[in-house]
Structure 1
């Protein structure tokens, strides 16, 4: 046994350490220091230790990113040197899924093909695609890049370095060897997303409703020369080294909403019955390159390229209350999320009269719906918004326009409105939480019962399908104006077409990356769709549009 003096000498250091840690501030910072030291060791270990193989199913990614800087392509095709990045090119190129290389036109300039068109050189100081860009170093895919560029109206999308997406209206760089675009997409290893200073470029197939922009101007399409060009487009001038920008600038300065390119001639005007923009031609008829910009199309003497400038067409902007109180109450009825606010916007522009509401929404009043504050029975508005259903509420109206929308779209739109506002979005937590299943359970049956009640109890019902109104706005809106008992002003309807979205459309950029509907939800909703379809046909009306109907499983 050790003598007492030895025990005492051994205990003193332990006692000092104990007293040291009893002092709270010192103890706290000591633990922080130990924590940071341990974390640093773990980080260094994970960063420098591991399997360096590059096999398809295992190993580390051959791309080591220690910083993002300017990337400089090497003169050799095998290796690429970059500031802060190293590429070890030992992989075999993965076959592409999107479009074969032979779709690429001469010199890499594609005027006819769709989809993948080639690998192009990119320069950080002078980009090949000069529109918007965004990066995602974990989940980038070809589809995601294409979808975002198409949503913004661009003609081309390009992917670089496996994780970077660029959009543009024209390609402003030469193409290069396909062997230089061999980096896998970060979010989809089965596809390639360019390389270092190399873009895999795709030409986008845009839907009719997707606006293609050139700066602030919107591409409207290719159209045949009107019969009376002087009446249709009263302002014209020959421009040396013609380009889209020069013509758009000229018509904007003249305060006209259409910029029309016809070879070296620029014409300006408004949409009129002489030039309504309703009969679009194949874009190939207009593919004649501009003298001032070889990557742009300027049309010719017979086929015109048309852009809508940022000048507002004021022919349909005046609105007022009815001059005499109406004795007839007309409902604008819909399930929530079926486009009622958008329909009100269109009706007000087309008729020049305010619409009313069964409710009061201060945010809509502040955005210009002045009829929002009137009592719904005031008789001063052309029609009254309502989401009500039930015999008593419906029979209070003398006539009704009933808006119906695809339930899958309507439910998601109303869920976004409920948790994100009129043009906002629900959060991912709401979509993935208990709120969404509960919402579908309660609201899906209401989608069907709302329409069935209005068909059963409504007097003089005019049915409008949201999707058909989007596809053929002019004729469907014309029918709505006639149903409201007003004469149709064609110039006014053409004006509405140019500013149909107003302030009441979600951007569409925040899309879910998965299907929120379970198989059980779809089975239930499909049955409701067929019930509504049968009820419409029973009343000698057209059934629901084909996109509502369930697809065979």
Structure 2
């Protein structure tokens, strides 16, 4: 199986790109199409009319993000050959599209791979059927082949399959998984469509800025909000590198008014924002993250600068930018428009509660889905996102006394501003440096 993200159902494009690879297969399934497209080095796999597979480099080679459809209910030609639930493969005039995120996963599964699929733990299910598995690997593969997003494995060999819901409530803290009566939860490669099928908004006038200093988790937050609301976010930057990895709101300019939540590193008046969400992150972490972005040669949203570069240049870089971190946060909190402040560290510790808070804050009623709790349960299985840089331990001695003095002064000024405007939760103690954690 392949790691793929379900994009949604869209009408066929009137004119497909000439490089689209098309194939018909009587026993078509999403897994077969995704595997075929990946083996041909394409980024997107689209299924049409039960038996057709279309492989493309770009999303809009096959369809148009502006033309969402509800007509993707035709059962796949190969459904009867699968042991899991019925799968759909588009419609007569519509395609179901997947973004291919990774290579094929083959058995036997390594411990390293299993660690990447671990999602936390839950209390041992009391009213759910189980089977016996010889290992967590066998349980994961069994549940995946049955079409379930999650596998649950107990040390006595019991294996449950399911999805995050009222029965299976995830505890993301892996430290608590060693207790008695607790089972480990793993994510299969089966896409959970409850938080898929993300679309553009109908043209409207609402516009909320998602503001932050660079390197503060803005792109990751966009992923969380798209999954929770069911609608794409936009950006003032028109970032082609993000578009290629699944942030399809980058396709449409914000002046088309088809996205409401807009990524920006400012909260000015230039884009007529009605409200704002401000993400604040430890300046040591955010400025190092921004330095990584500026000094990486490729995949800038997920790669890091070398240790040697950090050792030689980070103090000079941060001294030049700490004023920008302070200024951006002071400017964003100087407006009279509705503002929600979210600390990045809180978002990492409890993404679901904080995403719920952000969705409830949004002025646009369309972004308050009636199935929000189902979408959040689905999201709880996959909070990592599409472009999140792996964490790196930053030694305290990396930062000079001069830099720490400048950072502490900036932090104190931002904290005082937040108190003055009545933000209910105190700014975290970022003076502790890069080692700070809740």
Partner of 2:92: none
Change (3 A) 1:513 1:456: closer
Partner of 1:430: 309
Change (3 A) 1:327 1:260: same
Change (3 A) 1:268 1:351: same
2:130 to 229, 236, 245: 236
Partner of 2:282: 406
1:539 to 421, 425, 430: 421
Partner of 2:243: 365
The correspondence of residues 500-511 of structure 1 with structure 2, limited to 5 A, is 500-508=383-391
Per-residue Cα deviation, 1:237-285 (whole angstroms, up to 9, x for no partner): 245xx33233222112212122223434321001112221149794443
Partner of 1:14: none
Change (3 A) 1:544 1:524: farther
In the TM superposition, residue 331 of structure 1 has moved relative to its aligned partner by 0.5
In the TM superposition, residue 528 of structure 1 has moved relative to its aligned partner by 0.8
In the TM superposition, residue 467 of structure 1 has moved relative to its aligned partner by 0.8
Change (3 A) 1:550 1:362: same
In the TM superposition, residue 513 of structure 1 has moved relative to its aligned partner by 6.1
SS in 2 for 1:498: coil
Return the index of the structure with the highest Cα Rg: 1
- CA distance, structure 2, for counterparts of residue 377 and residue 465 of structure 1: 29
- CA distance, structure 1, for counterparts of residue 147 and residue 237 of structure 2: 39
In the TM superposition, residue 443 of structure 1 has moved relative to its aligned partner by 1.3
SS in 1 for 2:314: helix
- CA distance, structure 2, for counterparts of residue 215 and residue 346 of structure 1: 22
In the TM superposition, residue 537 of structure 1 has moved relative to its aligned partner by 1.4
Partner of 2:179: 285
Per-residue Cα deviation, 1:340-373 (whole angstroms, up to 9, x for no partner): 1111111111111111111211111112222213
Partner of 2:160: 267
Partner of 1:214: 114
Change (3 A) 1:331 1:458: farther
- CA distance, structure 2, for counterparts of residue 326 and residue 254 of structure 1: 42
In the TM superposition, residue 317 of structure 1 has moved relative to its aligned partner by 2.3
SS in 2 for 1:272: coil
In the TM superposition, residue 544 of structure 1 has moved relative to its aligned partner by 4.4
Matched-pair contact (CA < 8 Å) for 1:258–1:306: yes
* Matched pairs, number: 314
Partner of 2:147: 255
Matched-pair contact (CA < 8 Å) for 1:226–1:275: yes
The correspondence of residues 14-413 of structure 1 with structure 2, limited to 5 A, is 214=114, 217-218=117-118, 220-221=120-121, 223-226=122-125, 229-230=127-128, 236-239=130-133, 242-262=134-154, 263-278=156-171, 282-286=176-180, 302-322=181-201, 324-390=202-268, 392-393=269-270, 396-413=272-289
Gaps of 5+ in 1: 1-167, 170-211, 287-301
In the TM superposition, residue 219 of structure 1 has moved relative to its aligned partner by 5.4
- CA distance, structure 2, for counterparts of residue 529 and residue 470 of structure 1: 20
Bigger relative CO (Cα 8 Å, ≥ 6 apart): 2
Change (3 A) 1:364 1:284: closer
Matched-pair contact (CA < 8 Å) for 1:220–1:308: no
- CA distance, structure 2, for counterparts of residue 377 and residue 458 of structure 1: 24
2:410 to 528, 535, 540: 528
Per-residue Cα deviation, 1:511-539 (whole angstroms, up to 9, x for no partner): 56674321110011011111111111112
Per-residue Cα deviation, 1:14-48 (whole angstroms, up to 9, x for no partner): xxxxxxxxxxxxxxxxxxxxxxxxxxxxxxxxxxx
Per-residue Cα deviation, 1:93-150 (whole angstroms, up to 9, x for no partner): xxxxxxxxxxxxxxxxxxxxxxxxxxxxxxxxxxxxxxxxxxxxxxxxxxxxxxxxxx
SS in 2 for 1:214: helix
Per-residue Cα deviation, 1:276-318 (whole angstroms, up to 9, x for no partner): 11497944433xxxxxxxxxxxxxxx54333333333332121
In the TM superposition, residue 431 of structure 1 has moved relative to its aligned partner by 2.6
Change (3 A) 1:277 1:432: closer
SS in 1 for 2:179: helix
2:361 to 469, 483, 506: 483
Matched-pair contact (CA < 8 Å) for 1:216–1:310: no
Gaps of 5+ in 2: 1-109, 434-438
Matched-pair contact (CA < 8 Å) for 1:261–1:267: yes
Matched-pair contact (CA < 8 Å) for 2:267–2:276: no
Matched-pair contact (CA < 8 Å) for 2:319–2:406: no
SS in 2 for 1:377: helix
SS in 1 for 2:204: coil
Partner of 1:417: 293
Alignment TM-score, normalising by the size of structure 1: 0.53
In the TM superposition, residue 503 of structure 1 has moved relative to its aligned partner by 2.5
In the TM superposition, residue 458 of structure 1 has moved relative to its aligned partner by 4.9
Matched-pair contact (CA < 8 Å) for 1:399–1:458: no
